[in-house]
Amino acid sequence: MSSPVRRAAICAVGMMWLATDHAHAQVPPQTADTLTLAETVRRVTERNPTIIAYAPRRRALDGERASARLNPPLELGIEADEFAGTGDAEGVDDVELTLALSSVIELGDRPASRVAVIDARQSLLAAEERTQLLDAQAEAARLFVRLAALQQELEVARTAQNLAEQAEQTVRSRVERGRSPQADLQRAMAATARAQLEVGHIEHQLPTLRVRLAALWGMAHPDFVKVDDDALFHPGRVGDFEHLASALDQNPDLQQLASRERIEAANLRLAQSAASGNLRWRAGVRRLEGGDSTGLVAGVSVPMLSGRRAQGDIAAATGRREAAALDIEAARIDARATLYEAWQHRSHAIEAFTLLRDAVIPRLESALTGTREAYRAGRYSYLELIAARQELIDARLALVDAARRAHLNRIELERLAGAALTAADGDTATEPKDDNHDR
């Protein structure tokens, strides 16, 4: 892939928080065990096997174009007359030899029409390559976000395990003093075991996602332990939908359809040029054996009714071109609807994230502290303690899920628009960065 194409593709994808204010903040450097999103996009761009396969396809079309621009070849012909017959033509004594050149003159500028078809196919191949690259980068970004969210879920699960262990010690102390029944201790111990089980469950999911992510750049074994999840809790702002929709013309799928329409238009011009037919000429010299002399020969042939014979091909090419144009319009309407759906989902996810972070979790943390103290004082039961703890854990998991959904929908928006969400997304370099987010 040429470097301009690669740079354009990377800029088009942008990839989530790299295009937000966090690109202006201090970005943690790539370490031996932590993979950043910028490094992920770079690896996919340079090493994805599907993208690499487009290089020989481009060379193949270059060869076809070189052939398409050639004029018809010259043909050298030798003819022998008046030999191996009967009477005066018996034997080869009176043979007449003709040496001639012949070729075809293509009318209707057909070589240029053939080249135009190849040029349109090259445009389509470039659009397909860009689509594949964006798909690969978007899939890498999705896996990156899922890994980042899963790492945060692991942190929540470990916090839940610590809270369960603390609760178990509190219950044990009350049971030993005879202030709580033995059943409360058994339930607390079971809650600790279940929290440990959840930690193990998440730890077993992480390697699978790492392997899937590394496979996108052709690596069988990941060379990283975790991904940089610092920006997960900074989903950005929603921005204006119409501003975002204006970028739909950069959608690679629509560009593919536009390239297909250009191919059909070029095929139509080629079919129209065929209506002019081809002019075949022939010129040479003939040796007249009987008089031991030579003479020139020449001839021209023109096909009859070629325009009428081409009408079927012209009608077929016209229909395909019209259908391609209608396909573009239908795809544009569908893309806009899909874009709006992703924009709405992102808006809701950001709203949910903000409410959970600012209004729900702080209150639940305060409630858990008060419930724990009340339980130690004997004013609350064990059920109320575990309910307060579980509500906080659920809220923290919901916060991670909202952040994940906000970023995943941002990826879909970028993929649909074929461009990074910077000003269109409403992000600014001055957005405050909250380092005290709940993990």
The alpha helices in 239-379, defined as continuous H runs, are 241-245, 252-274, 306-309, 311-355, 361-376
Residues 85-142: tens digit of each pLDDT: 565 555 556 677 778 888 777 776 778 888 888 888 888 888 888 888 888 988 999 9
By mean pLDDT, which of 135-149, 150-164, 255-269 is the weakest? 255-269
Tell me the average pLDDT across 222-236. 90
Rounded CA gap, 294 and 288, in Å?
Answer: 5
Q: With contact defined as beta carbons under 8 Å apart, do 331 and 253 qualify? A: yes
Domain residue spans in the chain? 3-425
Tell me the average pLDDT across 219-243. 88
By mean pLDDT, which of 129-143, 285-299, 351-365 is the weakest? 285-299
How large is the angle between the packed helices 110-176 and 382-417, nearest 10 degrees? 170
DSSP 8-state secondary structure symbol assigned to residue 356: I
Nearest C-alpha neighbor of 209 from the set 199, 198, 222: 222
Rounded CA gap, 213 and 39, in Å?
Answer: 12
pLDDT of residue 30: 53
Give yes or no for residue 24 having a pLDDT over 60.
Answer: no
Q: Write the CATH number of the domain with boundaries 3-425.
A: 1.20.1600.10
Confidence of residue 4 (pLDDT cuts 50, 70, 90): very low
Which residues 6+ apart lie within 8 Å of 404 measured at CB? 145, 146, 148, 149, 232
Q: With contact defined as beta carbons under 8 Å apart, do 297 and 100 qualify? A: yes
Tell me the average pLDDT across 282-287. 78
Dihedral over Cα of 237, 238, 240, 245: its sign = positive
Where b means 16+ CB within 10 Å and e means fewer, 46-79 reads eebeebeebeeeeeebeebbeebeeeeeeeeeee
Strand-strand pairing, 293-301 and 34-35: unpaired
Q: What is the length of the chain?
A: 439
Tell me the average pLDDT across 25-29. 45
Tell me the average pLDDT across 215-230. 91
